[in-house]
Structure 1
């Protein structure tokens, strides 16, 4: 028996939105990972160069990078779920 929710135009739309959602989520996760890594690297560099004096600044840079990475990861997850039809009119 053919599942009408996954055939014809609806099936095509789901495939396109799923593909776009997964691709966009992948790009966002990559960008978030890069921002997080840069923030951690810069923070470690500041800590290494300045010692205790610059530690609050270095730790702050690491925290900002981690926060941005986590936020982008949550957005990417939402995009992926939405692209899979788990939210909105295609569910």
Structure 2
């Protein structure tokens, strides 16, 4: 049909079990802690905020790692190739 032309299509799906990631950043930890403090119950995320014991300033925030259990992803790859005729 078209000499030198080829096409490929690849379907793929990947499963990762027991995926351990750090899905949230320091700002999210601070937001969740702040929002839980406004309800009157200290949240679990407040333990990740480390403060100076003298003045209460935030020294650093630790981003927790969690086991997501399973991560699934899938996709499609397309490829097109045309090989030019050889010349002398």
TM range, smaller chain: under 0.3
TM-score (norm 2): 0.26
TM-score (norm 1): 0.25
Larger RCO (CA under 8 A, 6+ residues apart)? 2
Name the structure with the higher helix share: 1
If you compute each CA radius of gyration, which structure gives the higher value, 1 or 2?
A: 2
Name the structure with the higher strand share: 2
